[in-house]
Amino acid sequence: MKVLVIGGGGREHAVAKKLLSGKTVESVYCAPGNAGMKRDGITVVAIPQDNHEALIDLVKKEQIDWTFVGPEVPLFNGIVDDFQAEGLAIFGPTQAATQIEASKEFAKELMTANNIPTAGYQAFDDYNAACQYIENGPVPIVIKADGLAAGKGVVVAETKEVALNALDDMMLDKKFGSENTRVVIEEYLTGEEFSLMAFVSGEKVYPMVISQDHKRLLEGDKGPNTGGMGAYAPVSHIADSIIEQAIEQILKPAAKGMAKNNTPFTGILYAGIMATEEGPKTIEFNARFGDPETQVLMNRLESDLGEVIQAILNDSEPDLKWKTEGVSLGVVVAAEGYPETYEKEIPLGLPEEDEQLQLYFAGVSEKEGQLVSDGGRIFLVEASAATIEEAQSLIYQSLDSVSKPGCVYRRDIGHRAVNSEPAGNKKAM
């Protein structure tokens, strides 16, 4: 079977590699892909992810059996609708269903209508009304731009001044998109955060193991938010009872609610969740796999990913098995200066891969036959081991053994698992 993966980052590299490792899929094309993927036998095709017509032509010409979409942008642009209109099989949500990620207000309304626990909120179109709400309310408070902001549209404001500045940026200066100036202002949640994803087909939900992302640039979870500096799975200090609650109270009613709304969801549904003292509460939904969570989750999956997706596309039950022992941990190597300005074409020192250690490439290209950097997040080193500490030492030893001028990475990925008390509900479940 031939499959196309749309996207070009570490998430897509991990998905493509996992597809190739099973029996169902013989060849994987990735568009636009990246030069690092070629090392794993992935066919990289230089078609941009927003050129639906050229992607459709590729699928027809190469007789590709089905397509998997990694990033949110092509999904928001309706790539699934366009492929389906041509009668082509594609795994991902329709444009209407992507509103669960693209519109914070759509997501909040879905949660309210289906009793899904989340932070209290109010949506505003009127700048003065929003200012008044902040003046009269508590801090910290969270301000979210409605609509796509590539992960940048969220401000956790510790003070009223910061909150009011965020309103200026979003509503007056239209910093996060020219048309939509609506904001959602929500209650600040405290607790341990985790990512819960599931394969979803209409009302059917097949959950994955949970993972934890490290969004801040610097060690100790300090510094600016990034696309993610590392992740690990499973997150053993989050109790099974909390995960069970999150599946029953968040993922399943979300899928049901989407079907009831006439926007049924097929694809990967991602819930960012806070384990609060009152139980799990939803922070956000995404209509796709998380990055870098996927790079650590793929190694936890024992089943053939191609077979799982094929089964869902055929509307039959997938056989989903996850490893029960050990952990997977991933550390992102980024260009110095990321997420602001950084150099490109940095020559890369790459650790050797082996059974326990894998590389997933993101911002790379080829220059004179060598891989060089071409983006902020360059690659991720993933290790599978018995414990978090063992995975950390495999990764950090391997990184220490190569030269890496111009590159940075956090040395504390997984620290919350090593140092945390069990999180979530205080009372026994």
State which of residues 146, 193, 293, 304 lies at the interface with ligand GLY (CB under 6 A): 293
Apex 34 CA angle, 399 and 53, nearest 5 = 160
Q: Does 291 bind ligand GLY (CB under 6 A)?
A: yes
Q: Which stretch binds ligand AMP (CB under 6 A): 50-58, 187-195, 245-253, 368-376?
A: 187-195
Q: Which of residues 181-220 bind ligand GLY (CB under 6 A)?
A: 213
Do 44 and 32 form a contact (C-beta atoms < 8 A)? yes
127 touches ligand AMP by CB under 6 A = no
Task: Out of 38, 215, 216, 367, name the contact with ligand AMP by CB under 6 A.
Answer: 215
d(CA 35, CA 300): 25
Non-local (6+) Cβ contacts of 65 within 8 A are 1, 2, 3, 89
Q: Rounded to an integer, what distance in angstroms lies between the CA atom of residue 111 and that of residue 285?
A: 10
3-class DSSP state of 377: strand
The CB-of-188 to ligand AMP minimum distance in angstroms stands at: 5
271, two tokens: 């819930």
Residues β-bridged to residue 425: none
* Of 32, 272, 326, 406, the one binding ligand AMP by CB under 6 A: 272
Residue span binding ligand GLY (CB under 6 A) among the ranges 43-51, 167-175, 290-298, 370-378: 290-298
Q: How far apart are CA 214 and CA 226, in angstroms?
A: 9
* CA dihedral (296, 299, 304, 308) positive or negative: negative
| Residue closer to ligand AMP, measured from CB, 64 or 283 | 283
Give the C-alpha separation, 324 to 140, whole Å: 38
- C-alpha radius of gyration, the chain, whole number: 21
C-beta closer to ligand AMP: residue 25 or 154: 154
Choose between 186 and 307: whose C-beta lies nearer to ligand AMP.
186
170 in Cβ contact with 158 (< 8 Å): no
Q: Which stretch binds ligand GLY (CB under 6 A): 29-37, 199-207, 284-292, 329-337?
A: 284-292
- Identify which of residues 56 and 268 has a Cβ nearer to ligand GLY in the complex: 268
Give the shortest CB-179-to-ligand AMP separation in angstroms. Answer: 20
Binding footprint of ligand AMP on the chain (CB under 6 A) = 119, 142, 151, 154, 156, 186, 188-189, 193, 215, 272, 283-284
Where do contacts with ligand GLY occur on this chain (CB under 6 A)? Answer: 213, 228, 286, 290-291, 293
